[in-house]
Amino acid sequence: MSQFRLEVRVKPRPGILDPQGKAIHHALNSLGWEGVDDVHVGKAIYLDLVADDADAAMEAAEAMCRKLLANPVTETFEVSLVEEPVGAES
Amino acid sequence: MSQFRLEVRVKPRPGILDPQGKAIHHALNSLGWEGVDDVHVGKAIYLDLVADDADAAMEAAEAMCRKLLANPVTETFEVSLVEEPVGAES
């Protein structure tokens, strides 16, 4: 069993209302950044978990997304491995 | 001038209280994922912006983080380029 760090990015589906993104977009334009065309805001979730191997860790994280972390109606998610195993546990 | 998509990840500094991460950690354990050791929650912000080149786009995004998107006392940020230029504007 090794420890893995995974990064999960949950973002609103295209077309879904994103008031936080709109607010940031407006604020950036007000601060003088005219080149900003669009802003979307999602969540970045960092999971430290113990698993047999990287594939098992990725599968567990995807199951967590489907069950708890993301709302499949309004959000999409991506999972990626941040670090290789940092320590082995027996 | 080309359009770039940048991903900004803002996360709480280590040691800073992260109640949202703690709540997700507890919920995952309650749902039966015992292998989860720690959870941290930050923001993932997607910026579509027009800039001369990728370096200028990255610099603008870092300036936005320092000015608006991240609180330097409690948060750290990372900026990365998601896509190569998708279109040229004169």
Instruction: Per residue of chain B (90 residues), give pLDDT as tens.
Output: 899 999 999 999 999 999 999 999 999 999 999 999 999 999 999 999 999 999 999 999 999 999 999 999 999 999 999 976 555 544
CB atoms within 10 A of CB A14: 8
Model pLDDT for residues A10-33, shown as the tens digit of each residue: 999 999 999 999 999 999 999 999
| CATH code, B46 | 3.30.1280.10
Interface of A with B (CB under 8 A): 1, 3, 7, 9-11, 21, 24, 27-28, 31, 33, 35-51, 60, 64, 67-69
A-to-B residue pairs, Cβ atoms closer than 8 angstroms: 99
How many domains would you assign to chain A?
1
B8 within some domain: yes
Amino acid B90: pLDDT: 43
Q: Give the global pTM.
A: 0.88
| Joined tokens for residue A38 | 């669009």
Q: How far apart are CA B65 and CA B8, in angstroms?
A: 8
Q: Which residues of B touch A51 (CB under 8 A)?
A: 35
All residues at 6 or more sequence positions from B89 whose CB lies less than 8 Å from its CB, including other chains? B1, B2, B3, B50
B90 within some domain: no
Q: Which domain holds residue B47?
A: 2-83
Amino acid A1: pLDDT: 84
Segments in B2-90 forming alpha helices (H): 19-30, 54-64
